[in-house]
Structures are given as structure tokens and as C-alpha cells.
Amino acid sequence: MRIVRAFRFEASHSLPHHDGACRHLHGHSYRLEIELEGKMRPVDPQDPQSGFVVDFGRLHQVVERELIQPFLDHRHLNDSIPNLPYPSAEHLALWILTWCAHHLDGRPELGDSRISRIRLWETERAWVEVDRSELTHLP
């Protein structure tokens, strides 16, 4: 089963190799959708996490505290993302998916879930989607 949680953040970047206006400093109101897959936990009155694949609230806490706030929200992406080769939406989406695979997969408070896909909206009409299968170095 798959669950999806959406997040928002504001960030700036510039694309120095671009041949249009995007080469200049500008910003976006990003929307990030994180999709996790896993088994739904059986209902157990002794387990407050039962009946979920992942508790949306717990996922929100982890992603906001460890990904959005330190790296993305109100940041200049050219400078705030370690090892980001280029601050395009495509590279940023790959970086986020890799981060999620390393920091969310197998995390006890997130059950047995693992990242399956992310969608990153740069504007309300333009987005990039990257699937786990596109990360060849991850299982």
C-alpha cells in the first residue's frame, strides 16, 4: 500500500547555465509530495501506530524537522544542499529522493515503510517526479 504526504517550502535558486531568465536569482513556492510504501499494521489497541502504513503526523514531524527546515525552507538552494550538482528541479528531486531513502527507510517510527517516489512542484503547472527505481545505487 502507498501513502502520500505533501509539504510546502519557499526557496531561491539560480541556474547559471540556463539561457533564459532562470539564470538570474529567483524563487519558488515549492510543493513536495513524498510517497511511501509498506504494509498496513494490524489494529492493536496496545499499539498507537496500528492501522496505518505510516502515521501522517509522524512523517510530517520527521520530514519538517530533518529535511525541510535545515535544507530547503527559506534557503538558497545553490548553497544549502550538500553535493547538489545543479539546482534544477530534476537534480533537487533526485537529491530529495536519495535523502529520503537514507533517512526514512526502515525508521522505527515509520514502520516498515520505504520511499517509493517523490513529486516536486516548482510551480503550480510544472513538476518533476522521480521513482525509487531511478536510483540505481539503492535496493
pLDDT in tens, 79-108: 999 999 999 999 999 999 999 999 999 888
Task: Report percent pLDDT > 70 for the chain.
Answer: 98
Domains, the chain, with CATH or none: 2-134 (3.30.479.10)
| Residue type present at position 120 | L
pLDDT of the residue at 42: 86
Burial of 31 (0-12, 13-18, 19+ CB in 10 A): middle
pLDDT of the residue at 138: 54
Q: Given the DSSP bridges, would you call strands 26-37 and 114-123 parallel, antiparallel or unpaired?
A: antiparallel
Q: What is the DSSP letter of 39?
A: P
pLDDT in tens, 48-86: 778 889 999 999 999 999 999 999 999 999 999 999 999
Say whether pLDDT at 125 is over 90. yes
Q: Give the integer Cα–Cα distance in Å for 59 and 18.
A: 35
- pLDDT averaged over every residue in the chain: 93
pLDDT of the residue at 35: 98
pLDDT of the residue at 92: 97
> For the residues 106-131, what does the mean pLDDT come to?
94
Which band of pLDDT confidence, cut at 50, 70 and 90, is reported for residue 137? Answer: low
